[in-house]
Each structure stands twice: as C-alpha cells, then as structure tokens.
Chain A
Amino acid sequence: MLSSTATEALRSQVASKWQESFSRINRDNPGISGLIGFSEAWALSVQFLYPQDIRVSPPPDADTYERNLIAIRPAFNLVSQCRRLPALLENFLEDMRKNFHFIEAEINEYMTRYDESENTNEIEALVARLVQWCHAWEPPQDLDSLGATILSSYTLNFQTRVFSALPANFTAAFKNLCRSLLAPPPYDEDGQPRQWDSSIHATTWRNFDFLGMMDRYESIIASVGYEYIEQHVLDTCTGEWSKPMLEDLRTWMSDRVVPWMLHVYARGATSADEARTMLQGVGSRFDFHINKTLCELRTREIFNIIIDYPDSLGALTDLRDSLHRTDQRQNLVKSLRNANRKRLLHPGADTKLILQQYVATIKCLRIIDPPGVLLYKVADPIRKYLRERPDTIRSIVASLVGDEDSGDSLLDESEPVQPLQQHEFEDYTDPNWEPEPTDADPEFRTKRSSDVISTLVSIYDSKDLFIKELQVLLAQRLLMLTKDGSDRVERERRNIEILKVRFGEAALQVCEVMLRDMTDSKRIDVHVQSQKTSVVHPMIISTHFWPALESSELVMPGQFQKLAEDYAREFTVFKPDKKLKWLPHLGTVQVEVELEDRTLSFDVPPLEAAFIELFSQKAVWQLDELMKAVGSVARSAAVKALSTWVDHGVLKEDPENTFILLEREEEGGSSGIIRDPSRLDSTPPDVPPVASVQQQQAEQMRVYWKFIEGMLTNLGTLPLDRIQTMLKFAPGYDQSVDQLAAFMEAARREGLVVVRDGMWKLNK
C-alpha cells in the first residue's frame, strides 16, 4: 500500500519534470517541431566543436573559420536558449578526452626524436605544435557564441591533459630548452658580447605562457637562472682575489641576466616601472644567489686567500659583503678550521709558517668580521696547537726582535707599537659599548683594539715565558758579536726599546742590564787598552742578569793564558772590587797561522785556536794528548775542532787519532779528509752557548705549580682530587688526575711537598 503511494508520487514527479524539459526544448512550438530543431542545432554544435585530428584535416584558415562561425552561431544560440550549454561542454570535453590520443601520439613522436638527438629544437617545435592543437580545438570565445566560461574550462582541461601526457623526461628536456633559450648570444669575434636581442625567443616564451608552462615550470626556469649565475661566478671569480668582484657581478647581472628575466618574470608588463616592480622579488632572489655563490666559493678558497693576503684584499671585501647578506658565517668557520687542520696544523708545517698564517688569518678575519667572533672561533685550534709546539715562543720572540736575516717578519711595520693588552674588562660606562655579537661563544672576549703581537703573546697564559726567551735570545745574539759589532748592539738596543713599550719597562730590565754590559765592556776595554795594549777584548757580563751560560773546563794553552792573565791584572787595577772570571770557550779568536810555505788567517772558536796553538810546540799530536792539554773537552767537540783545521789543510790525520801539522801544503786534498766520518756524526749540532729555557710543557707545569703552591699556602692540606678541582682556576688546565698525581709525586721527591694519609701540604 505504502509502496504504491510512493510510486504514485514518483510517477507524477517524473511526469512533471519531463513536461518541463519538453516544453523548454520545444519552446512552445507546435508538436515536436521545436524538439527536432533543437536536435539539429545540437548535432551541428557538437560537429563544429568536435576535436579533429589536425594531422589529417588541418584546421580551416581564418576566413573559413569566421564564415563557419557565423553559420553555426544560430545553432549555438538555440542550444544556449534551451540551457543545454553545460551538456554541450560536457560532451565536448568527453570528445576531447576520446581524441586526446592524437596529441599524445604526437608528443611521443617529438619526445622520441628528442631522446635520440638531444636537440632542444624538438622541444621548441613540440611546444609550438601543442599551441596549434590548442588553438585548433579551442571553442569560439566571443560572447555571441559560447562565452568565456567554456573557453576557460577548455583551457584548464587541455593544459591538465597535456601536462599529464608529457613524459617524465620532459622536465629535464624543458630545462635544457630554457637553458639554450636563456643562454646569452655568443661573444663575437672582437670578444664583445653581442647585443641581446630580446625578441628572438619571444614567440616561444609566448607559447610557454599560453600553455601555462611558465607557472608550472617556474622553479625550473629559476633554477636555470641560478645555475647560469653559479656558472658565471665560478668562471669569473675562481682564483680572482685581487679586486672585489661583487660590483662587477652586479653589473653583469643587470646587463646580461635582467633582459631574460624580463621575458620570464615581467611578461605582460606595460611600462618600465611596472616591469621593475614585477622584477623586484626575483631580482633580489637572484642577487642573493650571486652573493651566496660567491660566498660559498670564497669560503672554499679561504685558506688560499689568507695565504695570498694582502694581495687577496678584494676577495676579503667580497666575502665580508656577501656574508652580510647570506648567513654563512658558520660555514666559513667550519671550512677554515678544516683547512687549517688539514693543511696547517700538522708536523710537516714549520712553526714560523704556522705563525705567519695565523697572523695573516688574524688580519684577514679582522677585515671580514671586525668584532672578531669568527677569528676567535678559528684561532682557537691554532692557538692550542701552537701552545704544544716546543719552538713557538722562540719563533715569536725571534720575530719580535726582527731577525733581519729571515726577511719576512710577522710584524707589520705600519702597526703602531703599543703596550701588550692584558685581559680587558667590559667597561659598561663606555658610551660606545656594544654587546657581543649573537654568535659569540661564552668565552669570547672582545679584542677590539688588540694588535698582532698581543694576540701572539696571549697564546700563553703568562708573558714571563716571552721575557725569559727574549733574554736567552738577546744573550745569544750579543755573545755572537765580534769586536766591531757596535752597530749591532745599537740595533738590539732599539729593539729592546720597542719591546719596552709592549712588555713594560720592568720586564725588560734584565735585557737592559745585558745591553749596558756591552757598552760597559767597551768602555772598560778602551781604558784597559790605553794602559796596556792587548789583543784581548773581553765582553764583561754580569752573571746574575744573564741566562745560565754553558760552562766549560777549557783551559787555553800557551800565549792565550798569558794574554788573559795580563788583561785581568789591568782590569783589577781599574776596578779593584771586581774580579774577572773567564769563560774561555765563548768568543772568537782571530789567528794567523804562519807555516813554512804560507800564512793563513782565520776567525775561529777558542777551542780551534787552542789546538793550533798547541801545534806550535810540536808538529805531531795524539788526540788524547790534545784533549788533556786544553783541560777537558768532549771528544766529539775536539774531533770537530780538529776537523776544521783538517778541512783548511793545516792538519792531517794519519793514522787515526794522530794529527800532523802540514808545514808544506800537500798535493791532493784526499788525505785531508777525516777518515771515519761516523765520529763526526756524534758531534752535537751547533748549540747556542746559552742553556735553553725549559720546554713549554714544563713551563705550563710551572704555572700550575704556582697555583698548587698558592692553594696549599692558603688552604693548608688538601687531598689530590681537591687540588685537581681547584686547579680549574688555572687557565687552560687540562691535566688528568693521574698526570697531576705523577706531578705531585715529582714535587714530593724534590722536597717541595709532603703527603700524609692522602693529604698534601707544602714542605716548610
């Protein structure tokens, strides 16, 4: 019962719908004539819109098309009147779907040809062909016929189908095409770039735009631009450090890149201003990319750039500017640290070289980053490494006093001499105070004004080490002077005066005394000589102020002894309260050796002179006899001294350990050669006569010892682990508990500390 009612209602509804549709299509025409008319119009419309295969039936020319359009318009109007346009569109799109395989086939043809030839012209042709298809199938768009809605849904539908029909490798092919389109015209014979003709590819660009490819492949087009920029930056800037390149690159971009950017990003711009606005976003992206590429390139090259400093100033300016725009500071630090580790901080590199590179790094990074955060991060490993090198202090001090022989000093002549900077404390009352940069480490200390020397000296925690080394070095240099070295003394004095500014007057007092000894010696010598002429010109030094000098048991034989004694007597007359203690092994002796057939003169060390003096007593000596005659000297030193005379052809060794004076020169040098060269190998290298300062390790430990002494003085007795934690107050303390235990044990053996029940205390 219920169902029959429902069926009843349904039936009446269907009937009314039917009636409605009928009357709409029949348009109140008699009978079904209206219906027939609509049916014809529908068929015509479908026929007109039907997507043809343009390969077999090319689209009609414009005139024919226009005529056809006029003919079909009444049919369209009728369909539209009957409100059947949506159905027509649906039908049309369905026809298009069915026939789309024509286009697909053609796409495949082009793509196959492209795959074979890799010729981007194929792609260009394909795009042009797709535009043809699109135009051929396009429904008329004027308002009189079908209207814009149908056209736009057609366009969308067509593009969607095209994009889904394009094979995967089309993207790559498209990119290649863009690349060839965007490539600037080749340089002409004169090397001048040809005028960019922006209209060459305009059609293709319009085609791209028409098919909606510009939007879809925008990232690809941009990536072509990026790659183009990268290529250019790498080509022009790699290894070019002498001048800043960034400006040139910007000019290049506005000359060469902007024109094609106009095609891509400013299409449809009507005025220059409009184009400029449209280009603004992409322009700054490209500019950023130039900065980034350059920055990355320079980051890779940074180590060599630093080596080339100051010739690489341009690159550094570039780097500074591009770092401002791109956030690459961390990368720069990482790259430079890596390069330093690989290329600098290894046993193969000379300490002097490392120092030079360090100084160059300081200077370079100051240009890039004046506050010094980057420098702090980069320098840290170098400083740690240098601290472990035994000859670092020596090298720094040598360059401080300006070794003329080495030529390349670490010091910049132009840098003003200023006092060493101690750790500075933030002065918050300074009106120019600035906070530390955001990427600064917690330990970072602003070193705004500190000079290179301060930085080098600060590698070590205490400048005492430098002062000591300085004294040693000065002692060495002064002791090497011969009697007419007064200008050298003057030079040393100037050095010390300069260093006084850096290290302070008090620190260099000892050096001052050493220099005064030199002038005093001279004065005393003048006086003594005026009383009694002597060939001896001693250098009189104040033992307490000079570094420990190597002692020797050398006793000068014969006339030397007498000369020294005579001189000492005169000296005592002049300075009754002082006594000369000779160091006969230091100094040089000017000897003239008169032989039967020749007279030779030499400047030789005292030991050599002593030996040759002995040969004036008799012509043949045994090695042991010789050694006994000059007090006591090391065998190796004796052999070395004798070999000097053998080399000069004054002595001859025959047989071994027996030396004969050659009154007459022997023919043929072969006999003059020491028989057994292995004896010479044991000769110690020419060590400076000054006992060298303790190794840095020991020096570091000395610093720690001061701390241990300090804490034990004030805190009484302490267990080992407490000492270890308290030593954290000592800067740079990095010893393990075991190392400390060994150290304390050594101190105990020396009687400095005592230990009871694990508690250490000072031994008073």
Chain B
Amino acid sequence: MEQLTSSLAPPRSAPKSNVASSSQQVAGSVAKRLSSELMTLMMSSSPGISAFPKHDGNLFEWVGTIEGPSETIYAGLSFKISISFPPNYPYVAPTIKFDTPCYHPNVDITGGAICLDILQDKWSAVYSVQTILISLQSLLGEPNNASPLNPDAASLWGNPTAYKAQLMKYYRPITDSA
C-alpha cells in the first residue's frame, strides 16, 4: 500500500509545479501592466494625485497621496492611502484604504476602508491606478451620502462648519517619516 502511494506521489506533485510556473508567468504580465501604469501615472502630472511602489522590487504594494480638491472642504489637506494589487490584477480591483484618518461619509474612520463602486462591483479591467486616484479625489468633494460607511459624517455633511471641525479633529498631517 505504501509502495502504491509513493509511486503515485510524483505525478500528483507534477501538476502542482505547473500551476506554480504558470502563475509566475501571470505575475510577470501583471508586473508589466503595473510598471506601465506607473510610467503613465508619473508622466501624466495630474495635479494632487500621486502614487509609487512602497519598496523596490515589489510592484504590488503602492503608497499614494491624494490632495483634497480645491474649493472643497478638504482643500489643503493631503491623505496617504495604501494600494495593494491582487495577483490577478487587473481582473480584480486593488485593495485601497486610507492611512491618514479621513473623516468622510464613505470612508471608515478607524480602518480606512473605502466605499466606492468602482473598487467593488463596478470594477473593470480598463480602470487604472490613475483613474482610481482621480475617482478618490473627486469622492472627497462629492461623497455618496446614500450608502455611508460613516453615518456621522453623512449626517454632518450639510453643516460645513461642524463637518470641518470633525474633519480636523481626526486629521493628522502627513509627516516625512512615512
């Protein structure tokens, strides 16, 4: 019996290694896509949004910076976000959360999770880091109060003074130690 299983073992492991190598190839093509997105983002010079890989050699973890759009309540504030790409990107949306506490109807104030349709069910492979960042930036000024993650913020939205006070209570300016 033992002999039988041991003789069966190699073929069983063979397909496994195949899977590993093909997933490596996929990772290669994802890296290609990410590196090209990085290039596009760097060259696009969209004001107020930026992102860059966190560590050299790893294209799957990025840090982003979003400046609040001018003439909104967030003007003058900068928010750090972290972006984590799944191995099957772009078929699956990246995971994005705010690292800087962000008082916002669609942002979880403690965890930084974001409620944005294109990051969930409306995700499509044609979106890129750049489009995500732009969407997030506009989300700051135009929250979707219908499906709030932060009901307090949603209810305060109509009262800019109180809202701003709450916002500033949570907000922590970005330091260089990031």
Contacts and interface: CB of A to CB of B under 8 A. Distances in A.
Contacts of B65: 713-714
From B56, B57, B64, B65, name the one whose CB has the most chain A CB atoms within 10 angstroms.
B56
Given A706-B42, A729-B38, A715 B50 contact: no
A714 B51 contact: yes
Interface in B96-148: none
B164 interface: no
B52 A710 contact: yes
B42 to A, nearest CB: 4
Contact of B56 (A462, A706, A726): A726
From B51, B52, B177, name the one whose CB has the most chain A CB atoms within 10 angstroms.
B52
Contacts of A425: 29, 32-33
Contacts of B33: 423, 425
A461 interface: yes
A729 B35 contact: yes
* Size bracket, chain B contacts: 20 to 34
B38 A713 contact: no
Nearest to B125: A425
A236 B73 CA distance: 82
B52 A714 contact: yes
Contacts of A730: 39, 42
Interface in A435-470: 442, 445, 461-462, 464
Contacts of B71: none
Contacts of A729: 35, 38, 52-53, 56, 59
A655 interface: no
B84 to A, nearest CB: 14
A289 interface: no
B17 interface: no
A714 B61 CA distance: 12
Nearest to A704: B42
Contact of A725 (B56, B63, B64, B175): B56
A340 B57 CA distance: 34
Contacts of A726: 52-53, 56
B14 interface: no
* Size bracket, chain A contacts: 20 to 34
A422 interface: yes
Contacts of A731: 35, 39
B177 A716 contact: yes
A715 to B, nearest CB: 6
A464 B177 contact: no
B36 A423 contact: yes
B52 A728 contact: no
B68 to A, nearest CB: 15
B61 to A, nearest CB: 11
A87 B146 CA distance: 118
B35 A710 contact: no
B12 to A, nearest CB: 25
A464 B29 contact: no
Interface string B10-28: 0000000000000000101
A761 interface: yes
B56 to A, nearest CB: 4
A422 B50 contact: no
A730 B64 CA distance: 17
Nearest to A462: B43
Contacts of A461: 39
A404 B35 CA distance: 39
B172 interface: no
A717 B174 CA distance: 12
Contacts of B64: 714
Interface string A342-361: 00000000000000000000
Contact of B63 (A464, A707, A715): A715
A245 interface: no
A426 interface: yes
B49 to A, nearest CB: 10
A711 interface: yes
A715 B50 CA distance: 11
Given A715-B54, A726-B53, A729-B56, A710 B178 contact: no
B93 interface: no
Contacts of B56: 722, 725-726, 728-729
A422 B177 CA distance: 36
B52 A715 contact: yes
Contact of B43 (A464, A715, A716): A464
B45 A711 contact: no
A552 to B, nearest CB: 32
Interface in A394-448: 422-423, 425-426, 428, 442, 445
8 contacts: A425-B29, A445-B32, A462-B43, A703-B42, A714-B51, A714-B62, A715-B54, A715-B63
Interface of A: 422-423, 425-426, 428, 442, 445, 461-462, 464, 703, 706-707, 709-711, 713-717, 722, 725-726, 728-731, 761
Q: Which 4 A-B pairs have the closest CB atoms?
A: A716-B176, A706-B42, A725-B56, A714-B52
Given A422-B36, A703-B42, A726-B56, 16 more contacts: A423-B36, A425-B29, A428-B26, A442-B28, A709-B42, A709-B50, A710-B38, A713-B65, A714-B50, A714-B63, A715-B54, A715-B178, A716-B178, A726-B53, A730-B39, A731-B35
